[in-house]
Amino acid sequence: MIDLKESDPYLIAETAYSFEGSAEYLMKQTMELPKEIKAVKYHMLFNIDGYMVRNHSVYSLLSNWIINRENWKKIIQYAKKQEHDVIILADDIETINFLETIEQMVDGLEVHAACLNDKDLLNKAIKFAKTYSKTLFVGISGFEIQELTSIVEYIRKKGLRDIVLMYGFQNYPTQISEVRLAKIPAFEKMFSLPVGYADHTKYDDSNKEKLILAAYALGAKIQEIHYVVKEGEQRTDAVTAVSAESLMMFWDILQNEKAMIGEIDYRLNRGEKSYLNFRKVPVYRADFRKGHIVSLEDIKFIRVEVPKRQHFFSEEEKYVGLILQHDVIKDQEIVADDFI
């Protein structure tokens, strides 16, 4: 199970199929991933015939991209040694069978939006997450709201509660006009589940940073960004992927965003209290002698250099009818000690 603190940015480095069958490249990605990045997500597939038909245009290509189990173990062991959470996107049932043998190294499991209608795979994923107390990530792009509601209800009826919905339009690279980040808080409210943002904008899109920050501000504390060793290299899924250096840049700006948004605390902080010094304060409109009974007409509001105390809205009304215990002068700040 993944510890998702309510306000902390949780950044996932998504390797996708950028490794193109090279365990060495995938290990390099893992080794170069900064420790500050919370999680790494791997796409895993063993039985391609359980994933696509043989006459599919990429069947032969993908067949050559399958990494053996021993190499997967080494890669995942290194990720855990570096204290990253490990999330596996399972493309077939055999992957989940394998994960059961290394479940202690797996923190989360994802079912891609394109595979949610495969009940055999989905049920296997739900059972794995429930049995081993793992977080189930569910891709929710490309569903009408009625269908999405059915999917969430189906998973919940299976008794699983640790669910994260991942929102991100899967059309490489995603156009900014199609992102519709307003859906993030809407889905969160509708399903009472955390909703993460899976970014799929081009790696050098000038709006990428703005989208990530906007998604975070709208409630997507879980952020997924595609990751490669070198930005702009010609690899599968690389059109949206950034380098380790850029991931750290995004991590930094998300930390700043968190600090700017802050926690919900209605008490004034030090900066806000200092700002109170700029408020007008109640003062005497003229000189008054000891024994004078104060009326509302005797009070006005004006700024002073350093107020003696914090004054509250409508506070002046409680002074009306009180008797002065000493002389006061015009523009003197009114305080409780002035009265009998």
Q: Which CATH number does the domain housing residue 303 bear?
A: 3.90.1210.10
What does the radius of gyration of the chain's CA atoms come to, in whole angstroms?
A: 29
Q: Is residue 155 over pLDDT 90? A: yes
Choose among 113, 117, 70, 120: nearest CA to 89: 113
Q: How many CB atoms lie within 10 A of CB 75?
A: 23
Q: Is residue 203 over pLDDT 70? A: yes
Q: Is residue 51 over pLDDT 90? A: yes
Q: Which domain holds residue 326?
A: 270-338
Same domain for 285 and 172 = no
Task: Tell me which of 222, 239, 261 is where a domain ends.
Answer: 261
pLDDT in tens, 245-303: 999 999 999 999 999 988 888 888 888 877 777 889 999 999 999 999 999 999 999 99
Task: Tell me which of 204, 228, 261 is where a domain ends.
Answer: 261
Cα angle value 135/185/127 (rounded, 5°):
20
Same domain for 174 and 97 = yes
Choose among 100, 121, 101, 94: nearest CA to 110: 121
Task: Tell me which of 236, 261, 286 is where a domain ends.
Answer: 261
Same domain for 191 and 171 = yes
Same domain for 127 and 200 = yes
Same domain for 128 and 104 = yes
Position 144 scores a pLDDT of: 92
Q: What is the largest CA-CA distance in the chain?
A: 101
**pLDDT > 90: what percent of the chain?**
81
Q: Is residue 171 over pLDDT 80? A: no
29: domain CATH number? 3.20.20.70
When divided into structural domains, the chain yields a total of: 2
Higher pLDDT, 77 or 270: 77
Same domain for 249 and 276 = no
Same domain for 209 and 139 = yes
